[in-house]
Structure 1
Amino acid sequence: MSLSLDHIVIRVKYLEQTIADFETLGFIVQRGGTHADGATHNALIGLADGSYFELIAFLKDAPQHRWWDANDRTGDGFVDFALLPHSVAATIEAAQERGVRYEGPIDGGRLRPDGARLAWQIGKPLSPDLPFLCGDLTPRDLRVAPGDVRIHRNGVSGVSSLSVAVRDVRASVARYRALLGETLAVQEGHLAGYDVTFATLPLGNTTITLLAPARGEASADNHASSSPGNLAHDLREHLAQRGEGVFGVTLSTRSESFARALPLALTHRARIEIVSRK
């Protein structure tokens, strides 16, 4: 069953400031409107490969919402990502037959600023290392606009790779196999010198990389493994503060001149890097 990357979610406290910051970084940002439950509103950054970033902020307290951040405990940053199925119901049924449970289909929607109403269904995983499902009931072009709004002055054309912080790579691989199919080609290994285990999984033109610290705690005799800026240290910190989920995103560009790591102050703590892919 074919699944592709649909979108990546960045939760923020102040949507208008976030829009301005991403525009400063060279992105075209589209205001998305208010969701059907009235709890959140969003803005979108559409990419030429068909995926997009969703910038989402809360309009009111919503402790029942899966992305609610009580007392601003974890703050801005990545909170989730979604895959696009042909049918949410069929994908959930197939995944459950292979041993992974999803809740749904659950109806959702949004009212755009121009008055257009969008409708979709989602599937919610019971394990936080997995993406949710988002399938359109109205045309997808209403949800993420095509055309020139996907052409950004920073040269970004699509999502090259997405990394996910997990606690146990092998356990997560088993769940991804159940979601994406038993024949999924997976490469597993250990990042020498980084105290990190990984697995890479193909998803269309995007690669998903699962990352986990090789040990539960940094060793006292290995200063590098606990120093700031070290990958294992950053993963442990992410898992402790935010739990399993999106750790970083690499965006592709055809021009080496655009390649750079974007400043966390402007991406609202979302690790985003632009890399040259010719």
Structure 2
Amino acid sequence: MEIDHLAVVCADLDEGSAWLEKQLGVSLQPGGQHPYFGTHNRLLGLGPGLYLEVIAPDPSVPDPGRPRWFGLDDAGAPKLGNWIARTDNLSGRPPGSGDILPLSRGDLTWEITVPADGSLCEGGAFPSLIRWGEGAHPSSRLADQGVGLLSLDITHPEPDRLAALLSDMADPRLRLSHGASAELGAVFDTPSGRVTLGKERFS
């Protein structure tokens, strides 16, 4: 597994985009719509094979008739709300990670794990899993604005068990620690210095 992208979740895409642009000091690029889940997004490239999205319910499309992914039915103010890991093996996913759904937008195709109730596996500590179809990764279409991911910090009540679930993840930017609940924090290098979204758990 590899870190594929991070998701800032929010109730309103314009609000979430403005918040993230203020935090990082750069502009987001247009994303697209996800009619199956009734959401839309905007994007920021973080280098080859990695990007950041702001995602929110899309009021311009019909209600999807099912819970939205990433817990977006309960989204409020913008926050770092999920991470997504790229893998070639979706069949080895742990219990609670959800069904494998085939999705597409334009020439992009992918499969992703989503629980039927729209919740997050392990409270968001375990990632949604994604397998992209043939073609270039979405990050290759995004401009380099000088923002990079330094670390993704995750707290969990059972970090050793979580580490076992993530045993196929070999990325030194992923750091686990004990906490009363599952929480995400990400540290970025930006043109104006280091920026943390969520809680930075390591000095």
Across the aligned residues of Structure 1 and Structure 2, the Cα RMSD in angstroms comes to 2.9
Q: Take 2:74 and 2:161, find their aligned partners in 1: how far apart are those partners?
A: 32
Residues 1:133 and 2:129 aligned together: yes
> Secondary structure in 2 aligned to 1:92?
coil
Q: 1:9 deviation in Å? A: 0.7
Residues 1:43 and 2:27 aligned together: no
The higher radius of gyration belongs to 1
> Secondary structure in 2 aligned to 1:67?
helix
Match of 2:178 in 1: 212
Q: 1:67 deviation in Å? A: 2.4
In the alignment, residue 68 of structure 2 is paired with which amino acid? H
Match of 1:271 in 2: 198
Once the two structures are superposed, the pairs formed by residues 1-278 of structure 1 within 5 Å of their partners are 3-24=1-22, 25-37=24-36, 39-60=38-59, 64-70=67-73, 72=75, 75-85=77-87, 87=88, 91-93=89-91, 95=92, 100-101=94-95, 102-110=97-105, 116-124=106-114, 126-128=121-123, 129-141=125-137, 143-146=138-141, 149-150=143-144, 152=145, 155-156=146-147, 158-177=148-167, 180=168, 202-203=170-171, 206-213=172-179, 236=180, 239=181, 244-245=182-183, 247-252=184-189, 258-261=192-195, 270-271=197-198
CA offsets per residue over residues 78-126 of structure 1, 9 Å max, x none? 22111112x2xxx133x35xxx34444311223xxxxx34221113475
Q: Take 2:8 and 2:79, find their aligned partners in 1: how far apart are those partners?
A: 5
Q: Take 1:248 and 1:71, find their aligned partners in 2: how far apart are those partners?
A: 20
Preserved contact between residue 12 and residue 55 of structure 1 (Cα < 8 Å): yes
Match of 1:228 in 2: none
- Matched residues, number: 188
* Gaps in structure 2 of 5+ consecutive residues: 116-120
Q: 1:272 deviation in Å? A: 7.8
Q: 1:47 deviation in Å? A: 1.4
Q: Take 1:69 and 1:35, find their aligned partners in 2: how far apart are those partners?
A: 13
Q: Under a length normalisation based on structure 2, what TM-score does the superposition of the two structures give?
A: 0.76
Instruction: Sort the Cα spacing of 1:71 and 1:171 in 2 relative to 1 into closer, same or farther, 3 A.
Output: closer
Q: Take 1:15 and 1:168, find their aligned partners in 2: how far apart are those partners?
A: 33
Preserved contact between residue 8 and residue 16 of structure 2 (Cα < 8 Å): no
Q: 1:21 deviation in Å? A: 3.8
> Secondary structure in 1 aligned to 2:26?
coil
Instruction: Sort the Cα spacing of 1:70 and 1:134 in 2 relative to 1 into closer, same or farther, 3 A.
Output: closer
Q: Take 1:71 and 1:37, find their aligned partners in 2: how far apart are those partners?
A: 17
Instruction: Sort the Cα spacing of 1:160 and 1:260 in 2 relative to 1 into closer, same or farther, 3 A.
Output: closer
Preserved contact between residue 188 and residue 195 of structure 2 (Cα < 8 Å): no
In the alignment, residue 251 of structure 1 is paired with which amino acid? F
Q: Take 2:134 and 2:12, find their aligned partners in 1: how far apart are those partners?
A: 28
Q: Take 2:72 and 2:16, find their aligned partners in 1: how far apart are those partners?
A: 17
In the alignment, residue 207 of structure 1 is paired with which amino acid? R
Q: 1:131 deviation in Å? A: 0.8
Structure (1/2) with the larger helix percentage: 1
* Structure of greater relative contact order (alpha carbons < 8 Å, 6+ residues apart): 2
